[in-house]
Structure 1
C-alpha cells in the first residue's frame, strides 16, 4: 500500500468522517490520469540481509522463534547499542516507525542472533564482493561472473564497474502470476492483492532506471521476456523509461501444445521486447537452407539417447558393430553387427587397427546412427571421418558423418568440397551465407521451453526443481541477432534464474571463438513451500542448512558450473548433445572461466582506511575486464601489476609504478590510492596511452554516495 493510503487509513482510525472525506477526494484525484502509464510508486523496498553482522545504527527486524512457520515481527528497529551478556550479544533497539507527537519511541532488547539486518533501497550502500568459488578452463578468457545479491543492490554495485559498458541486457523478470513467484518488501504478492500491478511496475521500474545507466546507449540492446499478464503495462513502462530506444515486440512459441486453461484459450507463447539503442540493429540470421558461410557441420555417429542403447527395441539389432581404425586415424574396415548376446571383446581383431564401438564414457554400450552398409556407402564418398583419438576412454576414436541434409548441400552446389583429409573425408564449406531478417513471430522447435529448458536443466543438475526455465537456444538466438559481430560483448542478466543467459553466451563463444562475458545476478531466495519445511525444522534465513536451498546456491551456480565443466553436481558427465547450430556432446563443457560471488555491505570508514580492500578487490578486477589474476591484498612494496590493471598504494613509488605500467602489455586501468589531488594528477601524467587512471577510494565512495537515491517519487 502506498504512503498516502497508509496515512488515510490512520486518519480513519482517528476520525472516521475525516478519513472517508480524504479517501473520496483521493479517489477523485487519482481518477484524473495524465497521458501515459500511471501507477503508485510504493514505499521504497527493503531487503533482508541474513548473515550480515549487526552493527550499531543498523535497521533490523526481529526473527520469529525457531520452529515457527510464520514470519517474525515485521516492524523495523534501529540498533542503538550492543552489549555482551550471558555469553552472547544483546542489541538495544529503538522503534523506527513514526509516532505521534508527545509519545516516545518504543524501545526493546533482543539477542543479535535473533535479528536480521535490513537495507532499504533509499539507503546508501557501499558494496563489496566475496568469492565463493571459481572454475578455470579457459586459459586467458575473461571470467563470467555470478553474483548472489538482491538484484537492485547488485545493479548499484555494477554502476562502479560497468557504467555505460554493457552491450546487451537479457532479463526474464517475474511474471506476476499471483502464485508466490516474487516478493515485494519481504512479502509474496498474491493474486488478490489490489495493488499487485502497481507493485510490480514499481519493482521493475526501479531496476530499469539503474540498468539504463549500465547500457552503452551508443550501441546496445535490452531484451525483456514476459507473458500475457503484464506485457501491455510493461510496454508502456519501457517506453517511459527508455524514450530514446527503438522498441519492437516478438511473439515466440515456447509450448507448441499450449497450456490447458479450462474455458480459455491454451496459452502457448511468450513475448520478447527488444529495445535498440544508438547504432544497434538486428543483424539477421542465416537462412537454414544455405548454412552460415562456415564449414559444413558433421554429426557424431554414436547415438546419444539411452532409448537407443544396445539391446533396446528402438536400437535394433544391426547398428552395434566394430569400426576398425588404423593408428593413423583412417577407417580400414567396417565389421558385421554383433548380436546383443555377444561380448564386444569377442569381435575379430585386425593387426594394426583398433576396433571402435559406440561406447559412452561411463561404459554404456550404445548403437551407431547408421547400419554398416549405409556407413560404408558414405565412407567411399568421403562423408565419414575419424575425429579425436581418446585412448583412455572406452571409445578410442570419435566417428562423425554428414547427414543427408548436409550431403544434399554439397550435391546441389550450396557447399563446395575444397579438399580432403588424410582419411579421404571431405572438407566442405558453404559458398555464401544468405542472411534473412527474422520475422516478429517465432515458431522454432529449438525454442520449446519444456525440451530445451526444463529437460536440459534436469540433465545438468538433476531433479532440482526450477519453474519454467527458458530454452537455451531461444536466449542464444535472441542475443546472436545483436552480438554476432561483437566478440567481446558484455551481457548482463539481473534476473538470472537458472543461469540460461550465461550458458547461451558460452555457446556463442564456442561457435565463433568469441570472448563475450556474462554477468548474472540473483538472490538466494528459498521457495515458499520449502521455507515452511525448513522453518518447521527450526531453521531460519542465514543458517547454512537454509541458504543451501536458495536459488543461487541450489540452481544458478550448479547449472553454470555443469554447463562449463560438462559434469553434473555429483561428478557424472552430462548426458546428451547440443543441437541445431552447434552440435557436440554437452559433457565436453566449454573452454571458459567463471567465478561466483556474494555481495557484501561495507562502511565508508572501512573502505577509506583500506580495511575493506579484500572485498573491494573483485570490483576493481571486474572494472578492468574480469580477466587474468586479481590483486587480492594491499601490496607490501606499495604497488603491484596484474594482467589487466595496476594498483599504487604508496605514492613514493609513483615513478617506478609509471615505468612498470608503460612496459606492461594489455594493461587497461591503474587504481591509485591517494587523497591528494595534485599527486593524483602527477601520477596520471605518468600513465601510458590507453591506461585509464582511477583514484581510490574517492571514485568508489563518490560513486555510491551519488547512487544512494532510491528512485522514488
Structure 2
C-alpha cells in the first residue's frame, strides 16, 4: 500500500489525486488482515416444541433446515407456504414441517427434563447433558454462567468430509471459493460465545483438531482471543497409525500413498492467570520405550527388619525371635515360624532342602530380634509393607525389609505415592518431591491410545459400532487436569460432547483426587447419514420417537453417562476391569547380570517388564463400582415470549433457574395446578418468590435457611425488587422475568 500511495502522489491533477486517495483509503479500511474466509449466512435450528401458526417460519423435516418457508394459511392439516428462495407457493402437510429459528433471532429457551441418573442421593453434585444445537445452548449458557466457567474442552468436527453425525465433518460448501469457509464460520460464531463464558481472570479453552484445519483454527483462535496465551500440543493417539490415501489434484486421479496419521493437536488458550500445572510426568516419555527412571526424585528406602541399637537382643523381646523361611531359588518368603522361648535353641528348627532359614542375627554373631512380632509381620507381608530383601553372598544371609509407621504416615499424606505392587506383592513406592517438571509439547502416553481406551472402552459400555473415533478417557482426563487440578470445584463445559467422554473423564478425575468438579455437556441428537436414509425409507421423520431414539444424544451420550455412573453396561451386566489402566513398564529388581570386567555372572540390578497401573490412585477403582455422582438430561426447548412475561411458564423455566443457581441437588419440580406463592429450596440452595405480596413471609423463611445462596424475585417493579433484596447481601439475586427476557433480547443481531 505504501508503494501505491507513493505512485498516487505522482498524479499531477490534484482533484483526481485526492479522489483516488479517498477510494484507496476505503479499500484499506475494508481489507481484513489475518484469517480471511467467507462468512456464511446464519444457521437455522428446528423447534419441534413450538406450534406452527400463520406467519411462522418453517422447514421440511426431511430436507435442508435452511430451505425456509413462510406459512401463509392453515386449513386443517394442509399448510400453504411461500418458499423464501423462489416465492413459489406450495401446500405441505402439518406433520411434514417444523418451525425454525434463524441465527441472531431473539430466542427464549428452556430445559425440558428427559431423564436423570442418581447414584449419590446425599451428594449435591449434579452434572448435566443438554440435547440441543450447540449455538442456542451456548446462548442459554451465557445467561447462566457468563464469565464463570473454569475450563471449556471441545472436540469439534475435523471437516474431513465424513458424514457419520451432524456436525458431520462435511463443512465444505460448493458455493465457497475457499473450502474452509463454512467450517470456520461455524466455529467462529461458537468461539465468540464460548469466550463470554470463560472467566477472563483465570480459565482455559482446549480445542482438539487434526491436520485438516489446525492452521486455520490457530489463526481463528488468535483473532478471537488476542489477549490469551496460546500453545499447540502434539498428542500421539494411535501408534499403529491410520492410513491416509488420496487422489492427485490433477485430472489423473491416481491414488497416492500419504503419511500414516498417529497424532492430533490440542490448542490450549489460557486467559488471565491460567497456567498449566507442573507434574512429575513430562508427558513425552512413556514406560513403553524407556527404563523407569526417577527424574531426580528420591527413592523410598525400606528399613531392615533386624532391630539395632537399644533393646535389640533376643532376651529383650522373646516374641520377636522367630524364623522366616525363604525359597532360595524363587527368592521369595514361603513361611514364618513360631517364636521360640528363651530356653529353646534355634538349631532345633530343621531346614528343608532349597529353603533357607533366616534368623534375626546380629553382626557380632549374637541372637537379636525382629522389629515386628510374628502376627504383625505376616499382616505386613499380605499388605505389601514387608518383603524379602537382597542376598549377601559373603555373609550367606538374606535381608528382610519392612516399612515403619513413619513411611506409612507419609503414604497416607501423599508424600509418598504407591505406584502398585511388584510380582511378589511388595508395594512399589515413589517419594513426591518439589522437583516437578513442565509438561512437554509432544505427548506420548500409552493410556492416550484412542483405539483401546476410546473405541474399545465405549463399545464395552454401550455396544459396538455406535460411535466412531471416541477420545481416550485418559487423554481427556489428563488434558483437563492440566488446567483444573488445583480447582476441585471447577465448572467444565463441552459443547461438542459426542460420545460423552468429557463427563466420564471428569468423574474419573474427581475419583482420583476427591474433587467436586461439575461438567455440562451439549450435543445434538442427529442420526448418521445411513440411519437417516433407512428411517426415511420406513416413513419416519425427525421428531418421531423412532428417529429421536437413534440420535447421538439418546443412543450414545446419555447411555454412556448412565452406565459409567452406575457401573454396568447397556445390558445391565457389571463392567469389568479397573480404571488404573495397566500398562507395560520396567521395574528394577535383583537378578543375575554379567560383570563387564570379569565376564562372570553375579547378582545385581536388572530390569524386568511388568504390567503396572499407569494411574495408581485409580488401581482399586473397579469400573463396576461406578461413580458416586448424579447427572440430569435435558432437551433445549423454546418458550413464547409473551407467556414468559406474564409468568405463565414458570414450571417450564424452573430447570433453567435451577441451573443458574448452580445445579445443586436434584432439579426441583412443581405439581400441576396453581403455583405456590414461593419456593424455599434449601437442598438446592435457592429460593423463588413467585407472588411478591408474600414477601414478608418469604423474608422470614430466608432467615431460617442461611445456606440459600441464589434468590429469584418475580416482580415487574425495579424499585420493589431493589427494596426486597436489600437484606440479601452476598447472595446472587435476580429479577424475574425481566432478567431472563432482557438477556435473550440482546441475542438479536448476533
TM-score range, shorter chain: 0.7 to 0.9
Aligned to 1:482: 483
Aligned to 1:77: 69
Question: What does 1:58-207 align with in structure 2 at a 5 Å threshold?
Answer: 58-63=56-61, 71=63, 75-83=67-75, 85=76, 89-97=77-85, 105-138=87-120, 139-180=122-163, 188-189=170-171, 195-207=178-190
Aligned to 2:261: 267
Q: Structure 1 pair 258/699, CA: closer, same or farther in 2 (3 Å)?
A: same
Contact 2:149 2:493 in 1 (8 A): yes
Matched, 1:602 2:639: yes
- After TM superposition, give the deviation of residue 484 of structure 1 in Å: 0.9
Contact 1:149 1:523 in 2 (8 A): yes
Q: 1:698 aligns with which of 738, 746, 749?
A: 738
Matched, 1:611 2:652: no
- Distance, in Å, in 2 between the alignment partners of 1:173 and 1:570 is 30
- Distance, in Å, in 1 between the alignment partners of 2:565 and 2:387 is 28
Aligned to 1:529: 530
- After TM superposition, give the deviation of residue 464 of structure 1 in Å: 4.2
SS at match of 1:497: coil
Matched, 1:641 2:641: no
Q: Structure 1 pair 586/34, CA: closer, same or farther in 2 (3 Å)?
A: same
Q: Structure 1 pair 630/129, CA: closer, same or farther in 2 (3 Å)?
A: same
- After TM superposition, give the deviation of residue 436 of structure 1 in Å: 1.8
Aligned to 1:47: 45
Task: Give the TM-score normalised by the residue count of structure 1.
Answer: 0.73
- After TM superposition, give the deviation of residue 412 of structure 1 in Å: 11
Question: What does 1:554-565 align with in structure 2 at a 5 Å threshold?
Answer: 554-565=555-566
SS at match of 2:726: helix
Aligned to 1:460: 461
Aligned to 1:666: 707
Question: What does 1:480-629 align with in structure 2 at a 5 Å threshold?
Answer: 480-578=481-579, 579=581, 580-581=614-615, 582-583=618-619, 584-629=621-666
**What's the CA shift string for 1:658-711, capped at 9, x where partnerless?**
232233132111000000112111111132x3212100000000000002333x
Aligned to 2:396: none
Range with bigger deviation, 535-544 or 108-117: 108-117
SS at match of 1:204: helix
Q: Structure 1 pair 52/233, CA: closer, same or farther in 2 (3 Å)?
A: same
- Distance, in Å, in 2 between the alignment partners of 1:537 and 1:203 is 32
- Distance, in Å, in 2 between the alignment partners of 1:204 and 1:92 is 36
Aligned to 2:280: 286
- Distance, in Å, in 2 between the alignment partners of 1:278 and 1:633 is 41
Q: Structure 1 pair 236/401, CA: closer, same or farther in 2 (3 Å)?
A: farther
Contact 1:630 1:642 in 2 (8 A): no
Aligned to 2:697: 656
Q: Structure 1 pair 439/113, CA: closer, same or farther in 2 (3 Å)?
A: same
- After TM superposition, give the deviation of residue 252 of structure 1 in Å: 0.3
- After TM superposition, give the deviation of residue 603 of structure 1 in Å: 1.2
Question: What does 1:303-318 align with in structure 2 at a 5 Å threshold?
Answer: none
Aligned to 2:409: 418
Q: Structure 1 pair 403/577, CA: closer, same or farther in 2 (3 Å)?
A: farther
Q: 2:193 aligns with which of 195, 207, 210?
A: 210
Aligned to 2:308: none
**What's the CA shift string for 1:363-399, capped at 9, x where partnerless?**
xxxxxxxxxxxxx9998472534xxxxxxxxxxxxxx
- Distance, in Å, in 1 between the alignment partners of 2:184 and 2:473 is 27
Matched, 1:38 2:36: yes
SS at match of 1:196: coil
SS at match of 2:409: strand
Contact 2:229 2:270 in 1 (8 A): yes
Contact 2:232 2:268 in 1 (8 A): yes
Contact 1:62 1:116 in 2 (8 A): yes
Bigger radius of gyration: 2
Q: CA RMSD in A?
A: 3.3
- Distance, in Å, in 1 between the alignment partners of 2:466 and 2:516 is 31
Matched, 1:250 2:239: no
SS at match of 2:68: strand
SS at match of 1:502: helix
SS at match of 1:276: strand
Q: Structure 1 pair 378/172, CA: closer, same or farther in 2 (3 Å)?
A: farther
Aligned to 2:337: none
Aligned to 2:329: none
Contact 1:464 1:555 in 2 (8 A): no
**Structure 2 residue runs without a partner (length 5+):** 1-26, 246-256, 282-291, 301-373, 389-400, 413-424, 582-613
- After TM superposition, give the deviation of residue 418 of structure 1 in Å: 3.5
SS at match of 1:530: helix
Task: Give the TM-score normalised by the residue count of structure 2.
Answer: 0.69
- After TM superposition, give the deviation of residue 425 of structure 1 in Å: 10
- Distance, in Å, in 1 between the alignment partners of 2:640 and 2:71 is 16
SS at match of 2:37: coil
Q: Structure 1 pair 384/690, CA: closer, same or farther in 2 (3 Å)?
A: farther
- After TM superposition, give the deviation of residue 512 of structure 1 in Å: 1.6
SS at match of 1:134: strand
Q: Structure 1 pair 664/475, CA: closer, same or farther in 2 (3 Å)?
A: same
SS at match of 2:190: helix
- Distance, in Å, in 1 between the alignment partners of 2:661 and 2:223 is 33
**Structure 1 residue runs without a partner (length 5+):** 1-28, 65-70, 100-104, 297-375, 386-399, 405-409
- After TM superposition, give the deviation of residue 33 of structure 1 in Å: 5.9
- Distance, in Å, in 2 between the alignment partners of 1:117 and 1:420 is 61
- Distance, in Å, in 2 between the alignment partners of 1:618 and 1:170 is 24
- After TM superposition, give the deviation of residue 220 of structure 1 in Å: 0.3
Aligned to 1:391: none
- Distance, in Å, in 1 between the alignment partners of 2:197 and 2:377 is 53
